[in-house]
Structure 1
Amino acid sequence: MGTATVTPADLSGLTNGFRGEVLLPGDPGYEQHRHVWNGAIDRRPAVIARCAGVADVIAALHVARDTGLTVAVRGGGHSFPGLSTCDDGIVVDLSPMRGTRVDPAARTVRAQAGVLLGELDRETQAFGTAVPSGIVTHTGIAGLTLGGGIGWLTRRHGLTLDQLLSVDLVTAGGELVHASEDENRDLFWGVRGGGGNFGVVTEFEYRLSDVGPTVLAGPIFWPVEQTAEVLRFYRGWIAGAPEDLGTIAGHRRAPTLPVVPPEMQGRHVTVVFVCWAGDPDDGERYVAPLRRVGTPLLDLCRPKPFVIHQATFDPSFERGWHYYFRSCDIGPLTDEIIDLFADHAARIRSPISSFNYFHVGDGAPSRVDDDATAFSGRHATHTVNINGNALTAEEHAAEREWVHELWDALEPHGVGAYTNFLMTEGEGRVRRAYGEEKYGRLQRLKTLWDPKNLFHLNQNIVPA
C-alpha cells in the first residue's frame, strides 16, 4: 500500500511549537520509528508524531481530526496484532514520554505512557516496592495496564489495573481530563480493562506493593515425555496454594542460552516457571515437592533479585521476530486438557514457538468484585497464550498453522478471553471477551467519550 501524503498546511498544528519530533516518509528516523516489536507487522504511516508531552498529544489529535487521518496510539509498541501503528494515518507515539516519579511515603508512583515495564521496576525496586505487571521488560505499561496486566505477582497483589489510583487522559475532542474513583468515575471504570477506546492516557498513578528485592524464582524443565505426569502433579500443587506463589507452566523447545546445557538445547520440554513473592525460605519449602516430580532436566529456580527474574522471558520475545498468537481463559486443568497439551507440546517445530498458561485463579484478582472494573476474567484458573513465532516471514505460515491446530482443540474448553492477548478477531470475539452486560456498558461509555470512534485501532468497542 502506498503512503498517503500530507501538506505543510495539514501539519501546521504539529510544526508550530511541537516539542517532540514529526517524521514523514523519507525523513531521517522514519524507517526506525515506523517499525514495531512484531516483525510480522509492516505499516507505513503518513505521519509519526513523537510526543514530548500532553500538549503534543493534543496537537496530534487536532491534526488527525482536521485531516481525517486514521489514528494509532503507541506506547511500548507491543500490540500483538500491530494496533499501535497504521498505514496512511498518524501514529501518536508516546514512547518519548518516559517520566517516572516514586513517592515512597505515599507508596505511589506516577508514570508517563511511554514507560516500559523494566523501567518502572528499576525505579520502584529502589524502594523495595513494585507495581504488579507483565513478564517481558520491554512491554509498555500503557497497553498492558488498560487491558488488565497479569504476571508473576498477580495472585499476591492483583492485576496491574487493580493498582490504578488515577489516569490523565486526552479525549477525542482534545481535552485533558482526570479520572479516578472521585472524578469521572465511569470513565475510570472503563479504562480499567476497556483498553484505549476512550482516549489517550498520558499518565498513570499506581499504588505500590512491597516486593523483594529478592524472590525465589526461575524455571524447572522436564522432558516433554513427562508432561502428563508433571501437569497432574502441578494441578494439585497449585490448588489452594499460598498467594505468594506465582507460576506459569508452558511448553517449547529448550532455548539456546548459556544457562541451558548444549546437549539440551532444542529438545522439546515442559517448563514450570516459579516466582515466590514472599519469604524465600517459605518458598523453598513449598517448591521442594515440585523439584522431586519426575526427572527434571534443569532446575534454575533459586533466590535472585526480582528485576533479574522479570527479564526471564525477554530472550524469548525479541524485537523484530514474527509473532502470531491465540489465547483463551480456561478453568482447572482437566485430564482431557492435560492430554491435549502433552500432544501438542511434542508438535512444536520452531525453536522460538511456545504455549504458556498463567495461573491466575484463587488469588487477589478474584477478591475484587467483577463489576468493579471493565476487566473480565477474574475467576478463570489459567490464561493460555499460544505463541506461533518465527525468525522469518517464510517460516511463519507453518507456525500460524500449528497455532490454529492447538487453538481449535483448546477453544471448546475456553471460559473467556484476555483482551491483551487477542489478535484482530472481530467485534464478536471482543463482545464475548467482555460479556454482553459489560460490553453494553462499555458501548455507552464509548458513545459518550468517542462517538465517532476516532480511537478504533484497539480491541474496539463500537459506539452504540
Structure 2
Amino acid sequence: MEETKLTGRIVTPDDAEYEQARTNNNLGVPKFPRIIVFCQNTNDVVNALKWVKENHVPFRIRSGRHSYENFSLVNGGLVIDVSEMDGIKIDSKSMTAKIEAGANLGKVYNELWKKGTTIPAGTESSVGLVGLVLGGGIGMLSRLFGLTCDNLLEVEMAIVNEQREVELIKANKNHNSDLFWACCGGGGGNFGIVTSLTFKVQPISKVSIFSITWEWEDFEAAFDAWQHWATNTDKRLTSEIELKSKEANQIIAQGEFVGSSFKLKELLQPLIDVGCPKKVVIKEVSYIEAVQFFDDPSGNQPAPRKRSGSFLNKPFPKEAILTMKHFLENAPNEKSSIWHQSLGGAVEEVGSNETAFYYRDAIIAQEYLATWSHPSEERANIRWIEELRNALSRYTTGDYVNWPDRFIRDWPTAYYGENFKKLREVKRAYDPCNLFHFPQSIPPFINWF
C-alpha cells in the first residue's frame, strides 16, 4: 500500500516561521511539535489524518490557537492546523452561511455584516469559530439568539470509521444526529476534524451598547445590582461585568441591546443609580461597530495566562461577593480579574439534554483570569486562580469546557454534567479506537460483559 504524503503548508523546527507557527495565545504552557501542517483544503485534512494513523504519530487539531491549556499543541507530534481554510459562503435567500473550520470571529463577523447578518458568538476577533461553537459559544447576543451552537445547522467532519478508514461525513439533526448533538457543546477535538460548519444567520443592523465604570468603593453594590438585574432584564440585552484587581480600581459593566438607545437607557436606570459611576456611555451604533467595541485587543495577544471558570445557578450571597473582593485585594498583579456574562433568555429555552451543553439553567458564566510577564510569577498566579475557584465552589457549579482547567479533578462532571455518559457513547460510535485524544478528551464508553 502506498504511503500517504502530507500535503498543505508544512512547517518544521528547521523553518524560519516555526516559532510563529507553534505559538498559541497562551504562552504559559509552551509546546514543541515536530511538524505543523496548515491545511488548505479538505484533502489536506484527510491526508494528515491518514498520515498520523499510518505513522502512529501523536497529533492535535488547531484552529484559532485559543485553547487555554494548549491542548491543541503536542510535543514531538503533528499539529493539524485548519486556520488557512477560512472561506465563507452566505445564502441570503435561505439565511444560512457555510463557514470553513479555520475562520476566526473577526472574519466571520465582517463577512456576515456585508449581508446585514450575524451569528451569536464571542467577542475576541482572533478566536476560532470552530472551537467556540463545539464548546457551546457565549457572547453579546446569547440572551436573544442563544448559544453559537443553537444556530448551528450542520457539521462536516473527517473521522476514522470502524474499518479504520478516514471518511468525510455530515452531521445534522436528521443524519448522524447523535454526533451533531455532541458537536453542540461537547468540546473540540473529541470525535474528528471539523472541516466546515453551516449556520442559520440572524438579520442585524443597528444595536445599542453601554459601558458603566465604578471604582473600588462600589465593588459590592455594583456587582450585586448587576447580578440581579442582568439576568432578569429584557432578553434583547446581554451584558457582562468585569471585577478588576483593587490595584486596577475598576469595575466595568458593558452590554449590547438589540433596540434603541432611548429604551436601553430606561433599562439601565437601576444600574446607573448604584453607587457613584465614574463613567456612563450609552450609544446607538451599527452592529459591526459594536463588534469592534467589545473586541479586547489584550485577549488577542499571546501572553502567559491561566484561566478557569464556573457557572452560577442563583445570585451570589454577600459572603461570595466578599470572597471575590478579598481575592482581588490580594491579586498577584494588577491584570488579575473576575469576569461574568449574563445567560438566561434564549439560552435556557433549550433543555440541558437537548444539546451536549449542559448548563442551560445557569444565570451567569463566571471566568477567572490571570496574566503575567515573567516566568517567576507563574506559580503565584496559578495558585491564585485555583484558590479562588475552590473558595467560590460552594456557590457555583461546573465549568465551561471552553475555559478548560487542567487542575480540575472531576473535569467530566464539571464540563458536561449528566451529558457525559451520552458523550462517551457518541465517542464509541465515531472514534472507538480513541484516536482523537488529549489530556481532557472524552474517552469511549466501554460495555463490560
What TM-score results when the alignment is normalised by the length of structure 1? 0.90
Maintained 8 Å contact 2:26/2:305: yes
Question: Could you tell me which residue of structure 2 aligns to residue 219 of structure 1?
Answer: 211
Maintained 8 Å contact 2:248/2:335: no
Q: Distance in 1 between matches of 2:433 and 2:409?
A: 16
1:463 matches 2:444: yes
1:446 matches 2:446: no
Question: Could you tell me which residue of structure 1 aligns to residue 276 of structure 2?
Answer: 295
Distance change >3 Å, CA 346–CA 297, structure 1 → 2: farther
> Which deviates more from structure 2 when the two are superposed, residues 220-229 or residues 86-95?
220-229
Q: Distance in 2 between matches of 1:59 and 1:458?
A: 24
Q: Distance in 1 between matches of 2:328 and 2:19?
A: 37
Q: Distance in 1 between matches of 2:350 and 2:373?
A: 40
The DSSP-based 3-state class of the residue aligned with 1:454 is coil
The DSSP-based 3-state class of the residue aligned with 1:324 is strand
The DSSP-based 3-state class of the residue aligned with 1:371 is coil
Q: Distance in 2 between matches of 1:461 and 1:28?
A: 36
Question: Could you tell me which residue of structure 2 aligns to residue 281 of structure 1?
Answer: 262
Question: Could you tell me which residue of structure 2 aligns to residue 180 of structure 1?
Answer: 172
Match of 2:159 among 151, 156, 171: 171
Map 1:333-344 onto structure 2 (within 5 A).
Answer: 333-344=316-327
In structure 2, runs of 5+ residues without a counterpart are none
Once the 2 structures are TM-superposed, how far is the Cα of residue 336 of structure 1 from its aligned partner?
A: 2.3
Q: Distance in 1 between matches of 2:112 and 2:337?
A: 31
The DSSP-based 3-state class of the residue aligned with 2:393 is helix
Map 1:91-106 onto structure 2 (within 5 A).
Answer: 91-106=79-94
The CA deviation string for residues 42-73 of structure 1, in whole angstroms up to 9 with x for no partner, is 11111111100111000001110111111100
Once the 2 structures are TM-superposed, how far is the Cα of residue 105 of structure 1 from its aligned partner?
A: 1.4
The DSSP-based 3-state class of the residue aligned with 2:306 is strand
Once the 2 structures are TM-superposed, how far is the Cα of residue 354 of structure 1 from its aligned partner?
A: 1.4
1:271 matches 2:271: no
The CA deviation string for residues 165-201 of structure 1, in whole angstroms up to 9 with x for no partner, is 0010000241000111111111111111112211111
> Which deviates more from structure 2 when the two are superposed, residues 341-350 or residues 57-66?
341-350
Once the 2 structures are TM-superposed, how far is the Cα of residue 120 of structure 1 from its aligned partner?
A: 0.4
Identity of aligned residues (%): 29
Maintained 8 Å contact 2:211/2:253: yes
1:64 matches 2:52: yes
1:416 matches 2:398: yes
Match of 1:358 among 334, 341, 345: 341
Q: Distance in 2 between matches of 1:269 and 1:385?
A: 17
Maintained 8 Å contact 1:118/1:307: no
Maintained 8 Å contact 1:197/1:458: no
Distance change >3 Å, CA 462–CA 320, structure 1 → 2: same
Q: Distance in 1 between matches of 2:231 and 2:22?
A: 45
Question: Could you tell me which residue of structure 2 aligns to residue 261 of structure 1?
Answer: none
Distance change >3 Å, CA 131–CA 384, structure 1 → 2: same
1:402 matches 2:384: yes
The DSSP-based 3-state class of the residue aligned with 1:299 is strand
The CA deviation string for residues 411-443 of structure 1, in whole angstroms up to 9 with x for no partner, is 12122221111222467212343224x211111
Distance change >3 Å, CA 281–CA 422, structure 1 → 2: same
The DSSP-based 3-state class of the residue aligned with 1:28 is coil
The DSSP-based 3-state class of the residue aligned with 1:202 is strand
Maintained 8 Å contact 2:337/2:368: yes
Maintained 8 Å contact 2:231/2:363: no
Distance change >3 Å, CA 50–CA 247, structure 1 → 2: same
Q: Distance in 1 between matches of 2:439 and 2:104?
A: 19
Once the 2 structures are TM-superposed, how far is the Cα of residue 154 of structure 1 from its aligned partner?
A: 0.6
Question: Could you tell me which residue of structure 2 aligns to residue 209 of structure 1?
Answer: 202
The DSSP-based 3-state class of the residue aligned with 2:250 is strand
What TM-score results when the alignment is normalised by the length of structure 2? 0.93
Maintained 8 Å contact 1:224/1:345: no
**Structure 2 counterpart of 1:217, one-letter code:** I
Distance change >3 Å, CA 244–CA 198, structure 1 → 2: same
**Structure 2 counterpart of 1:404, one-letter code:** E
In structure 1, runs of 5+ residues without a counterpart are 1-8, 255-265
Once the 2 structures are TM-superposed, how far is the Cα of residue 395 of structure 1 from its aligned partner?
A: 2.6
**Structure 2 counterpart of 1:323, one-letter code:** R
The CA deviation string for residues 339-389 of structure 1, in whole angstroms up to 9 with x for no partner, is 22233233334233211011112x101111222111110101111100111
Question: Could you tell me which residue of structure 2 aligns to residue 34 of structure 1?
Answer: 22
Q: Distance in 2 between matches of 1:433 and 1:44?
A: 27
Between the two proteins, the alignment pairs up a number of residues equal to 438
Once the 2 structures are TM-superposed, how far is the Cα of residue 133 of structure 1 from its aligned partner?
A: 0.4
1:14 matches 2:5: yes
Q: Distance in 2 between matches of 1:69 and 1:161?
A: 31
Maintained 8 Å contact 1:133/1:160: yes
Q: Distance in 1 between matches of 2:291 and 2:334?
A: 22
The DSSP-based 3-state class of the residue aligned with 1:217 is strand
